Chain A
Amino acid sequence: MAMLEIRNLHARVEDTEILRGINLTVNAGEVHSIMGPNGSGKSTLAQVLAGKDTYEVTEGEVLYNGKDLLDMEPNERACEGVFLAFQYPVEIPGVSTNYFLKAAVNAKRKHHGQEELDAVDFLELVKEKAALVELDSKLLSRSVNEGFSGGEKKRNEIFQMCVLDPTLAILDETDSGLDIDALKTVAHGVNCMRSPERAMVVVTHYQRLLDYIVPDFVHVLREGRIVKSGGKELALELEAKGYAWVEEGNATPVATS
């Protein structure tokens, strides 16, 4: 059974159809990269999978480990192991990152019938993961993302991913806004998370990221559909030829794997 099975997914905002029949299968252990021009629907796909209710799903289905994902509340999806690293992480004034993350960790543990982590164990976990992505631990006592630099916000997303240990991680343009050193550390964090039990969907505009996080599959999204899929070399081809190349009759609308 595939971990994630997206079939003919259509979604819209008010009268605008944004996703127009997405098909995608992701198996445990795989890393998929999604590329595509601005406004093609990459973030929308990510948000629909995470359960953002701004988007109305009008057709299609999504199975996650065999369960109807669209039927689950966003927090339920998260507790079941779906993680989204946001393209634009929000600020939550007055709520410390530590406090926030502890609530998140314990919500998940509660969902699985485990005991809550106590302060000592939590701190240990957090310390280890912060070191992994080289996140300045001073940020942890500050309000969630408040006044963080663009790069710090992105790093914080990956840090949270490491702490929450998801089954399916969706990274939406985590690389944009990172300097080259930060990119390497973040990629290192992500690579540490690669495992046969986990799958990742990495949205990016840049082939550069894929030098560090080498994908098993690359998909091109355009106007709400996957118009081309291939291996990691597809990213290089895109970089060389641009998205216009996909339009010139090279489309292969069905996803592989």
Chain B
Amino acid sequence: MADASKTLEQWENQEYKYGFVTDIQADSAPPGLNEDTVRFISAKKKEPPFMLEWRLRAFRHWKTMTEPTWANINYPPINYQDIIYYSSPIKDEDRPKSLDDVDPKLLETYEKLGIPLHERAALAGVAVDAVFDSVSVATTYKDKLGEMGIIFCPFSEAVHEHPELIQKYLGSIVPYTDNFFATLNSAVFSDGSFVYIPKGVRCPMELSTYFRINAQSTGQFERTLIIADEGAHVSYLEGCTAPMRDENQLHAAVVELVAHKDATIKYSTIQNWYPGDENGVGGIYNFVTKRGKCHENARISWTQVETGSSITWKYPSVILQGDNSVGEFYSVALTNRCQQADTGTKMIHIGKNTKSTIISKGISAGRGQNTYRGGVRINKGAANARNYTQCDSMLIGEDCGAHTFPYIEVKNSTAHMEHEASTSKIGEDQLFYCNQRGINLEDAVSMIVNGFCKEVFRELPMEFAVEAQKLLEVSLEGSVG
């Protein structure tokens, strides 16, 4: 054992030295994935040795793994050697010069969503400086937060400026061995966000990648790490309601949350990646691993609105390690056209008096397929654990599908479990009632669907809730009549 690790170390060091002489002048790595690709990425980002080592360990582990097939999704095999794993941020001269150069269809959607003009441009990839100085906006916030000791920066920056935090927490919740996609991410992730809230600090504003419109350059393998120290509070928003233009088909992100004693982390996502066209051509494959760990009295709350991507594979989970900790999952997943979603959560009860709530709303329209997959585990020591699960599915039309796979494992007899599930077709009678009052079919559908999702939307921060409603409207277009 000792010998083996010694050789590994030597080998790593040797490789590492070699890695640094890799030509890093090129803007992109050639397609394909091998150790050189990993070194190239690490070198490009001028990472300290511990990062490269970690990436390489992940990569070596990944080679021993096979892609999972248990999810209720179908897609042609992905050739991992065809993918470009690193390309540097788009240069301004390669971006569209103005909105006139942008696909009108995309702009139309932005308009319907009520996105302000300058943001539309930024989202569509128009050179940001020309329209909106997002950097200065970000810096303003950063200064203000910095005074409170809050760190909010790109992941790659944190690697350089707070290596001790990264070393301590990276992979502590989602280890690099976790699963096929998370392991791949660990080897090749490009960037992401890092948040640290110090002891007892309540973050005074919603932290959002929305402020960092340049998030578009973080690429297909994002990595986010959020740490709330004892008694800290933070609410984090990810994504935006506009469909993000992206050339990459495979997305494999990882999010790790650490909520120390008495801390609260609220993580909200609106995911609206390109869903593919009516015939299922194109669209993002979104394979995401999200997990948080709660220490004593801590609370982690995941809220997600998933309307984009051609495939969504995602199970934000909470490990309820500390006594009296609380985990929550509120989800709306909508599949229209040929979209497929297999999503849900896992709540692992370890501490005593731990509590979890799961509310999942699946909406299927068109030829969409929507699967809820949820696991609740009550460990032996988790006395008086409680779980409440409610998963509701709504079908719009005849060609879509809804599926529910709840897994429950209870090893402590004091557990209290409640489970409710329903599947309904969008009511003809409800639609007619709305129509009879003068409301047209499309508005009636979005009104009924929004009502169906209410319990989840009210968990979103205010401004986001409004956008989420609009987003559903746009995503449902053409699903009836």
How far is the CB of B477 from the nearest CB of chain A, in Å?
Answer: 17
Q: Are A94 and B432 in contact (CB under 8 A)?
A: no
Q: Mark B283-327, 1 if CB is under 8 A from A, else 0.
A: 000000000000000000000000000000000000000000000
- Other-chain residue from A92, A103, A108 in contact with B433 (beta carbon distance below 8 A): A92
Interface size on B, residues (CB 8 A): 23
Asked whether any CB of chain A lies closer than 8 Å to the CB of B435, the reply is yes
Which of A54, A91, A99, A107 meets B438, CB within 8 Å?
A107
Asked if residues B432 and A107 are in contact (CB atoms below 8 Å), the reply is no
Q: How far is the CA of A101 from the CA of B439 in the complex (A)?
A: 10
Cβ of A235 within 8 Å of any chain B Cβ, yes or no, is no
- Bound Cα distance A91, B430 (Å): 7
Residues B437 and A104 in contact, CB atoms below 8 Å apart: yes
B338 within 8 A of A: no
* Docked CA distance A188–B481 (Å): 39
Closest to A163 in B: B437
In angstroms, how far is the closest chain A Cβ from the Cβ of B127?
Answer: 38
Residue of B nearest to A52 (CB): B432
Asked if B66 lies at the interface with its beta carbon under 8 angstroms from chain A, I say no
> Does A160 count as interface, using CB distance less than 8 angstroms?
yes
Known: A75-B441, A103-B443, A103-B447. Contact between A94 and B453, CB under 8 A? yes
Q: Give per-residue flags for B426-470: 1 if the beta carbon is below 8 A from chain A beta carbons, else 0.
A: 011110111111111101000110111111000000000000000
Q: A103–B439 contact, CB under 8 A?
A: yes
Chain B residues, CB < 8 A from A54:
428
- Complex formed: what's the CA distance from A184 to B447 in Å? 33
Interchain CB contact under 8 A, B441 and A92: no
Q: How far is the CA of A100 from the CA of B433 in the complex (A)?
A: 11
Chain B nearest Cβ from A163, distance in angstroms: 10
Interface bits B372-392 vs A (CB < 8 Å: 1, else 0): 000000000000000000000
Q: Does A150 contact B (CB under 8 A)?
A: no
Do A75 and B438 have beta carbons less than 8 Å apart?
A: yes
Report how far A93 CA is from B429 CA in the complex, Å: 13
Check if A86 sits within 8 Å of B438, measured CB to CB: no
Which of B435, B447, B450, B455 is the most central at the interface, judged by chain A CB atoms within 10 Å of its CB?
B435
- Chain A CB within 10 A, most for which of B433, B438, B455: B438
Docked-complex contact A93 and B439, CB < 8 angstroms? no
B447 touches A74 (CB 8 A): no
Contacts of A79 in B (CB 8 A): 438
Across the interface, do B435 and A51 meet the contact criterion of CB distance under 8 Å?
yes
Q: How far is the CA of A143 from the CA of B401 in the complex (A)?
A: 27
Say yes or no: A164-B450 contact (C-beta < 8 A), given A90-B427, A94-B455, A103-B443. no
Interface flags for A30-59 (1: CB within 8 Å of B; 0: not) read: 000000000000000000001110100000
A81 to B441, CA, bound (A): 18
Q: For residue A106, give the distance in angstroms from its CB to the closest CB of chain B.
A: 9
Q: How large is the interface on A (under 10, 10 to 19, 20 to 34, 35 or more residues)?
A: 20 to 34
A78 within 8 A of B: yes
B429 touching A90 by the CB < 8 A rule? Answer: yes
In the bound complex, do residue A78 and residue B436 qualify as a contact, i.e. CB atoms below 8 Å apart? yes
The answer, among B427, B433, B439, B440, for a CB contact under 8 Å with A89, is B433
Q: Would B450 and A73 count as touching, CB distance under 8 A?
A: no
Cα–Cα, bound, A83→B438 (Å) = 9
Query: Contacting B435 at CB < 8 Å: which of A74, A93, A101?
Result: A74
Give Cα distance in the complex from A246 to B299, angstroms.
71
**In whole angstroms, how far apart are the Cα atoms of A7 and B132 in the complex?**
65
* A-chain residues with CB within 8 Å of residue B448 when the two chains form the complex: 92, 95
Interface residues of A in 152-179 (CB under 8 A from B): 160, 164
Asked if A135 CB lies within 8 Å of chain B CBs, one says no
Residue A111 at the chain B interface, CB threshold 8 Å: yes
In the complex, what residues of B have CB within 8 A of residue A26's CB? none
Contacts of B439 in A (CB 8 A): 75, 103-104, 107
Whether B437 lies near A160 (C-beta < 8 A) is yes
Given contacts A95-B451, A100-B447, A103-B447, contact A90 B430 (CB under 8 A): yes
A78 with B435: in contact, given A93-B452, A94-B454 (CB under 8 Å)? yes
For B427, B436, B439, B441, which residue has the most chain A Cβ atoms within 10 angstroms?
A: B436
Nearest CB on B from A86, distance (A): 7
B429 adjacent to A50 (CB under 8 Å): no
Known: A52-B432, A86-B433, A90-B427. A95 touches B450 (CB 8 A): yes
B interface residues, Cβ below 8 angstroms from A: 427-430, 432-441, 443, 447-448, 450-455
Known: A74-B435, A95-B451, A107-B437. 6 other contacts (CB 8 A): A50-B432, A75-B437, A79-B438, A94-B453, A95-B447, A95-B448
Going nearest first, the 9 A-B pairs with the smallest beta carbon separation are A94-B451, A94-B454, A95-B451, A104-B437, A78-B438, A74-B435, A107-B438, A75-B435, A79-B438
